[in-house]
Structure 1
Amino acid sequence: MISFSPCAVWAKTASFSMGWAAFMCISPNVKEEGAMKEDTGTQDTPYTEDTLVEQLELCVDYLWKSERHELIADINKPVIAVFEKRRDFKRLSELYYDIHRSYLKVTEVVNSEKRLFGRYYRVAFYGQGFFEEEESKEFIYKEPKLTGLSEISQRLLKLYSDKFGADNVKMIQDSNKVNPKDLDQKFAYIQVTYVVPYFDEKEQQEKRTDFERHHNINRFVFETPFTLSGKKHGDVEEQCKRRTILTTSSYFPYLKKRIEVVEQQSAEMNPIEVAIDEMSRKVSELNQLCNMEEVDMIRLQLKLQGSVSAKVNAGPMAYARAFLEEKNAKKYPDNQVKLLKEIFRQFAEACGQALDVNERLIKEDQLEYQEEMRTHYRDMLTELSGIMNEQVSL
């Protein structure tokens, strides 16, 4: 991602009294550069409007290269102000054409998933004798494109094996909470966990595009499955999970590859809460796919298949049988059972809408597949109606 050094330039350019604060819409990280106004070592540096324009034009070039087209208009605003003041209509026409092209590109790729904004990993270091001030600290690493867990793990293992010796470095393979006192102090330990950006309910509504879900983010989440019997995985009636939310000191995208974690919150979910969470996610995903301007047929059909034709002991109906059948529902709080029932009603509606969208868009060679999905859907509704003791309609 680009450096926001033009913020400091703007702060020293008398024509623009707002200074770095005007770039807050681009990145909250510019607050870190606000202190540069007080840097006495740069007072004699000649900053001019032309310096500002040059720096911002460089920023725009990097935005094109990084495929962050949504930011180009905002970065160009102060440049437009300069050329409006100078009555430089030729440059203004070029700027507005550039903005026009950026928005055309946004409409082309906004929900296509053609842009790969990267993946995120929590990396924790343990071993006072090796990591010194970084011991027991956690960082979020932003990795390019589709970097997998094994790839970053192997890279870090090699990096620190070269530094400390291959026999002295161990990788922690799970996401469980680590107590440093339980570790052998003769070794350096590295724990790598895949995380995704975290959004609360309000942010879920506001951040609708892939770009918005990877821009100006500083909270990340991962989940750790467990059962009360001590096993990691079990039947849905015993499957619990721990959700951990991490907050970083700055926002991604950032000038550095990693940012330190400054806050951690964990919450545990019992089995019916896991069902509520998983089914809510399925409803949200189906609705999002159905409401896209350009529907991703492959993703839609994969979600449909996993929703209406899952195996007997897996998928949504496994949750319905485990928690909503009358003999089982009595074991759980009434309010949670009612909530799960309502989510299943929404799920049935979302599946129906997804089938309608799929039917509208498929070609003739998929008509048989569509009818098969319809049959599975009807069977699901019939079973769900029996489980919930109500008519769940098509």
Structure 2
Amino acid sequence: MWYSRYGFYPLFTQFPIRSTRSPQTFMFATPYTLDGRAHGELSQQYKRKTIITVANSFPYVKTRVPILSRREVVLTPIEVAIEDIRKKTAELCAAVHQEPPDTKILQMVLQGCIGTTVNQGPMEVAHVFLSELFLGQQLTDLQNKLKICFKDFSKKCLDALKKNRTLIKPDQSEYQKELEKNYQRFTDRLKPLFSGRQSQALTLSKR
């Protein structure tokens, strides 16, 4: 089997490829469900990561080089959810700490996390995979990991809101208030995730 910088031949030319740690190692992800569809409900959504190592680092004089090794990692639906929440958290963190600050990027990331139109996304993830928590039942290791991810995600949302508050102009004050309302609504619905001190910490301070 051979690898080209333009794709896998002959089977995988339709999938995007990205480099991982070194120019010799590449990975692409394929979403799938057990019934054969690429996408499905959250509880049915799997992901297959294919990782390959090639003989020579790119860029290389030849456009096709031999594949030395190939392995696959399959993520279960809850693992896909964990990865997605971690990705959103990383985007928030990057936007908050960007220097110089970029208000447009910060607001775009915030809107994608707690905006009215997407607020159901994280909420749906929580209700699909953490329903036992809302019922007072014991969680599995993966559910506990997702719960921790949600706590970090919520804290980073709060950090982003506070950062945005220091950057906005007076004509955006209503937009800021709307984002804060969305965030408060989000945390209120997920109170079982933020018990005790964590719940107290995730409160917007007055301006």
Q: 1:332 to 1:279 in 2, by over 3 A?
A: farther
**What's the offset of the Cα at 1:233?**
1.0
Question: Size of the alignment, in residue pairs?
Answer: 197
The equivalent of 1:309 in structure 2 is 115
Query: How far off is 1:333 after superposition?
Result: 6.5
What is the CA deviation profile of residues 264-301 of structure 1, one whole-angstrom value per residue up to 9, with x for unaligned ones? 22111111111111111111121122122223332222
1:292 maps to 2:114 = no
Partner of 2:195: 390
Structure 1 residues 191, 320: CA separation in 2 closer, same or farther (over 3 Å shift)?
same
Question: Is residue 2:2 matched to residue 1:137?
Answer: yes
Aligned to 2:19: 197
Residue 328 of structure 1 deviates from its aligned partner by 8.4
Question: How far apart are 1:322 and its partner, in Å?
Answer: 0.6
Pick the aligned partner of 1:244 from 35, 43, 50: 50
Q: Aligned partners of 1:223, 1:330: CA distance in 2, in Å?
A: 35
Q: CA deviation at 1:334?
A: 0.9
Return the offset for 1:369: 1.2
The 3 A distance-change label for structure 1 pair 313 and 354 is closer
Percent identical pairs in the alignment equals: 31
Read off the aligned partner of 1:320 and give its amino acid letter.
Answer: A
Query: Is the Cα–Cα contact under 8 Å of residues 329 and 337 in structure 1 kept in the other structure?
Result: no
Give the equivalent residue in structure 2 for 1:337: 143
User: Any gaps of 5 or more consecutive residues in structure 1?
Assistant: 1-135, 143-170, 173-177, 179-189, 200-215
Pair 1:313–1:350, CA change in 2 (3 A): closer
Query: Structure 2: which amino acid aligns with 1:344?
Result: F
* CA positional deviation for 1:324: 1.1
Q: CA deviation at 1:224?
A: 0.8
| CA 347–370 in structure 1, closer or farther in 2 if over 3 Å, else same | same
Q: Offset of 1:141 from its aligned partner?
A: 3.3
Residues 1:375 and 2:197 aligned together = no
Selected match of 1:269 from 49, 52, 75 = 75
CA 1:380–1:313 in 2, change beyond 3 Å: closer, same or farther?
Answer: closer
Label 1:390 to 1:291 Cα distance change in 2 as closer, same or farther (>3 A).
same
Q: How does 1:72-221 map to 2 (within 5 A)?
A: 136-141=1-6, 178=11, 191-199=13-21, 217-221=23-27
Residue type matched to 1:358 in 2? N
Matches of 2:148 and 2:170 in 1, distance apart?
Answer: 35
Distance 1:296 1:257, change over 3 A: farther
> Which one-letter code corresponds to 1:196 in the other structure?
R
Structure with the largest fraction of helix: 1
Matched residue, 1:77: none
Provide the secondary structure at the position in 2 that maps to 1:315. helix
- Between the aligned partners of 2:43 and 2:137, the Cα distance in structure 1 is 11
- 2 CA distance for matches of 1:306 and 1:139? 35
The amino acid of 2:78's aligned partner reads I
1:286 and 1:354 in contact (8 A); partners too: yes
Do the aligned residues in 2 keep the contact of 1:312 with 1:318 (CA within 8 Å)? Answer: no
Structure 2 unaligned segments of length 5 or more: list them: none
CA distance in 2, matches of 1:249, 1:310: 48
Asked if 1 retains the 8 angstrom alpha-carbon contact of 2:112 and 2:118, the reply is no
Deviation at 1:263, TM superposition (A): 2.5
Alignment partner of 1:351 is 2:161: no
- Give the TM-score normalised by the residue count of structure 1: 0.45
2-structure distance, mates of 1:344, 1:318: 12
Q: Is the 8 A contact 1:224 1:241 kept in 2?
A: yes
Q: Deviation per CA, 1:10-46, whole angstroms, max 9, x where unpaired?
A: xxxxxxxxxxxxxxxxxxxxxxxxxxxxxxxxxxxxx
Task: State the one-letter code of the partner of 1:247.
Answer: T
Aligned partner letter, 2:171: D
Aligned equivalent of 1:121: none
Q: TM-score, normalised on structure 2?
A: 0.81
Higher relative contact order (CA 8 A, sep 6+): 2
